[in-house]
Amino acid sequence: MAPPDNLPALAVPAREIPVPTSVSPQARAVLAMGPMDMGEYPAQNDADAWRAMIKAADDAVLSMLLAQASGLPSDVQEIDVAGVRIYTIRPQDLPADDRRVFLDVHGGALVMGGGECCRLTGAGTAARVGATVWAVDYRMPPDHPYPAALDDCVAAYRALLEDHRPDEIIVGGASAGGNLAAALILRARDEGLPLPAAAVLNTPEVDLTESGDTFQTNLGVDTVLTRSAMPASLLYAAGHDLADPYLSPLFGDLSKGFPPTLLASGTRDLLLSNTVRMHRALRKAGVPADLHVLEAAPHAAFFGTAPEDGELDREVRRFVDAHWGTLA
Amino acid sequence: MAPPDNLPALAVPAREIPVPTSVSPQARAVLAMGPMDMGEYPAQNDADAWRAMIKAADDAVLSMLLAQASGLPSDVQEIDVAGVRIYTIRPQDLPADDRRVFLDVHGGALVMGGGECCRLTGAGTAARVGATVWAVDYRMPPDHPYPAALDDCVAAYRALLEDHRPDEIIVGGASAGGNLAAALILRARDEGLPLPAAAVLNTPEVDLTESGDTFQTNLGVDTVLTRSAMPASLLYAAGHDLADPYLSPLFGDLSKGFPPTLLASGTRDLLLSNTVRMHRALRKAGVPADLHVLEAAPHAAFFGTAPEDGELDREVRRFVDAHWGTLA
């Protein structure tokens, strides 16, 4: 059954959507803040404007990350791996022989979230997974477009493999970090590397073409991700095909060795379609993949302030423990 | 952190939502049909108007069910169990000693979907699960409000237990059928009955109070379920508390023996919140529960016409086979 050409769009009238009573008071408070003003992306060729925008956005995120920074004592080091800066974050209560590593890829639309944001994101991940984290401070536009970021993630993974069994390693990330974590797995596989034990993809930006339905249906409903990331994706791609599987891993061949994967999103998330499509694609490829969707949650949920965030943290912990479980 | 009173609603402007390219041509054709005109529900006390509305709706659904009726040869019998009409549907290719039974509870907002609709729904389920189906033609309003329907489902389950081990039985249903399937499990548990091997809850109407966020965010976006079912729920409840766990099993105690459960919905589904909240509630209660969400799918997906429907069917088959698997 071929659909007719020029399929008619669905007209949805203007609406007033109340703050739901179906979530925690903390989540309600986040939803009541209304849409975040993310401003406009700069013109593609205005590198200085991009640098200024990125710094302003990172500063804003940094103050939020500092406010929720984990009190978990950990040893943090900054190391250089083949020219890539990596923060290693090791919780102090780990036994000396604990060799588990979570390779953590930060988010930020593939242009933001580096440096201190990356380090603090990694610290949060270490608290969440209870293991050593390698947080990759990968290179980004405007100075370093694709494939710099992916090269750096692959270099970090390759370095880890030098003294870790692959099943001691789990990779993951949120949003753009989910893009790079998935792309890293595809490239490692294509380069003949052994694959990690598992992957954690939280609201992953796995389709830079933004073809998913919730890019439309949840636009204006997601109060955190309030605009398309297309300008950032184009700056990242720098002329490469956005649908290339290394840029949009949703379109990759997931049938050959992709590891068990946990995916998470929220019903208001602009990237809900990305998440459920990746879940379906993995399941079709025969990959064990678990989906969690938080009620009324916007992109990346409730800033870590709500019990719902903690509930997802516990799912992630249970998942990684199960996949690291055979290593004890 | 207590939220302030009078939380401000989110103003979402009017939008034109294109038919997404991220689904099959068949799914696109369904989405291009636009919102179904479901008309108005009658006044609560106008029983004749309800009967007329129910007949018209059932006739419309029946023609659709007949169009997609499975060609699977099966032996169908109509039996009477403690006054409850049940259609037993046994695929002809089953070995004589195959004792697996799927107790199938039809949908229809707790007021529609009985009789021939029930039988054809059950036939579809039999094809899907590859086992004998008991399709319960439970009593409904306006003549038989709560607890008649639930009484009938419990009576059917109790009758099955007379000559089946509980782990030979799986229960399930879509929409209102998901409500009754879950409520049946809670009541069976409370009455001291052994529980079935598993449950399949497809876009379940587990919260008759309609407190979930997608009752708002997906209103007008879901082209199949285009209105609140509250009038039907009130007719069903007949003065009982809509939040009672036997009417809204989402609010029940799920921690004591609820069996492994598969849940499914779509990103456009008005009952997406119901589905993900039930998934979360089950997971919090320690119940193994798997969630599947179809891209861009409205309530109950694509009328069985799209490959996406078949994909979900295969997930259901895999799930029931895994939970019946130990019985061979």
CATH classification of the domain holding A252: 3.40.50.1820
Judged by CB atoms closer than 8 Å, whether chains meet at B3 and A19 is answered as yes
Name the residue among A26, A219, A291 with its Cβ closest to that of B291: A291
Q: Helix, strand or coil for residue A66?
A: helix
CA distance B261 to B288: 7
Q: Which residues pair with B321 in a beta bridge?
A: none
Q: Is the pLDDT of residue A9 over 90?
A: yes
Q: Tokens 């994706």 — which residue?
A: A233
Q: Is residue A240 part of a domain?
A: yes
Contact A96/B at CB under 8 A: no
Position A317 in a domain = yes
Residue A85's domain spans which residues?
A: 70-327
Record: contact B17-A217, CB cut-off 8 A: yes
What token pair was written down for B221?
A: 């976006």
What is the structure's pLDDT at B37?
Answer: 87
H-helix or E-strand spanning residue B65: helix B47-67
Cβ–Cβ of A277/B295 closer than 8 Å? yes
Count Cα neighbours of B224 within 13 Å in the Cβ-side half-sphere. Answer: 22
Answer yes or no: is pLDDT of B328 > 80: no
Structure-block tokens of residue B206: 């587990």
Residue in B with minimal Cα distance to A33: B8
Cβ contact A170:A164 at 8 Å: no
Position B70 scores a pLDDT of: 64
Residue A187 included in any domain: yes
* pLDDT for position B5: 61
pLDDT of res. A64: 86
Mean pLDDT, all residues of chain A:
95
DSSP notation for A42-60:
PPTT-HHHHHHHHHHHHHH
**Torsion, CA A176, CA A179, CA A182, CA A184, rounded to 10:** -80
Looking at the partner chain, which of A16, A273, A305 has a beta carbon nearest the beta carbon of B22?
A273
Please give the pLDDT value at position B2. 45
**B47-67 helix and B116-129 helix, angle to the nearest 10 degrees:** 40
User: Cβ separation of A305 and B4 shorter than 8 Å?
Assistant: no
Per-residue confidence band for B67, with pLDDT thresholds at 50, 70 and 90: confident
Is the pLDDT score of B115 beyond 60? Answer: yes
What does the block give as tokens for A155? 């270099």
Q: In which region does residue A121 sit, left (phi positive, over 0), alpha (psi from -120 to 50) or beta (all else)?
A: alpha
Q: Contact, B34 vs A4, CB < 8 A?
A: no
For residue A259, what are the contacts with CB-CB under 8 A and spacing of at least 6? A185, A195, A196, A197, A198, A199, A287, A323
Report yes or no on A32 lying in a domain: no
Selected residue of B5, B6, B12, B294 to mutate for chain A interface (largest A Cβ count, 10 A): B12
Q: Which residues contact A233 (CB under 8 A, 6 or more apart)?
A: A109, A110, A208, A210, A242, A247
**What's the pLDDT at A2?**
46
Residue A105 lies in a domain: yes
In the predicted model, what is the mean pLDDT of residues B45-49? 97
Alpha-carbon span B316 to B321, nearest angstrom: 8
CA of B212 to nearest chain A CA: how many angstroms apart?
6
- Judge contact between B327 and B316, C-beta under 8 A: no
Q: Of B8, B217, B273, which is closest to A221 when you measure between CB atoms? A: B217
Q: Using one digit for the tens of pLDDT, what is the confidence trace for A17-72? A: 999 999 999 999 999 999 998 888 999 999 999 999 999 999 999 998 888 766 67
Q: Which of B277, B305, B315 sits opposite A22 (nearest CB)?
A: B277
CB-nearest partner of A26 from B1, B35, B223: B1
Task: Report how far Cα A324 is from the mean position of its chain's Cα atoms.
Answer: 21
Peptide bond into A147 cis (omega under 30): yes
- Helices and strands: H and E segment counts in chain B: 9, 10
Between residues A39 and B327, which one has the greater pLDDT?
A39
Q: Which residues of A238-266 are buried (b: 16+ CB within 10 A; e: fewer)?
A: eeeebebbbbbbbbbebeeebbbbbbbbb
From the list A119, A131, A52, the residue with the least C-alpha distance to A91 is A131
> At A326, is the pLDDT very low, low, confident or very high (cuts 50, 70, 90)?
low
Query: In this predicted structure, what is the pLDDT of residue B16?
Result: 96
On whether any CB of chain B is under 8 Å from the CB of A203, the answer is no
User: Are A318 and A260 in contact, with CB atoms under 8 Å apart?
Assistant: no
Which residues on A lie below 8 Å from B280 (Cβ)?
292, 294-295, 311
Of the candidates B127, B202, B139, B138, which has an alpha carbon nearest to the alpha carbon of residue B171? B202
Could you tell me if B18 lies within 8 Å of chain A, comparing CB atoms? Answer: yes
Tokens describing residue B247: 């009417």
Question: What are the pLDDT digits (tens) for B117-164?
Answer: 999 999 999 999 999 999 999 999 999 999 999 999 999 999 999 999
Helix axes B148-163, B176-190, angle to 10 degrees: 60
Average pLDDT over all residues of chain B? 95
Contacts with A, B 135-194, CB within 8 Å = none
* pLDDT reading at B193 higher than 60: yes
**Is residue A262 a contact partner of residue A315, using CB atoms and an 8 Å limit?**
yes
The radius of gyration of chain A's CA atoms, rounded to the nearest angstrom, is 19
Query: Which tens digit of pLDDT belongs to each residue from A217-274?
Result: 999 999 999 999 999 999 999 999 999 999 999 999 999 999 999 999 999 999 999 9
Q: Which residue of A has its CA nearest to B271?
A: A267
Interface contacts A/B by beta carbons within 8 Å: 198
- Asked if residue A65 is part of any domain, the answer here is no
Is A213 touching B (CB cutoff 8 A)? yes
Place of tokens 């919102």: B35
Distance CA B147, CA B54 (A): 19
Measured between alpha carbons, how far is A285 from A272 in angstroms, rounded to an integer? Answer: 20
For the record, the structure tokens of A30 come out as: 């986040």
User: Which one of A295, A303, A317, A319 would you mutate to disrupt binding with B, by most B Cβ within 10 Å of its Cβ?
Assistant: A295
Residues contacting residue B116 through CB under 8 Å, at least 6 positions apart: B58, B62, B65
Contact A291, A279 (CB under 8 A): yes
Residues B254-273, mean pLDDT to the nearest whole number? 97
Count of structural domains within chain B: 1
User: Is residue B115 included in any domain, yes or no?
Assistant: yes
Domain assignment of residue B46, yes or no: no
Give CA B33 to chain center in angstroms: 23
* CA atoms of A120 and A204, how far apart (whole Å): 19
pLDDT tens-place string over residues B269-320: 999 999 999 999 999 999 999 999 999 999 999 999 999 999 999 999 999 9
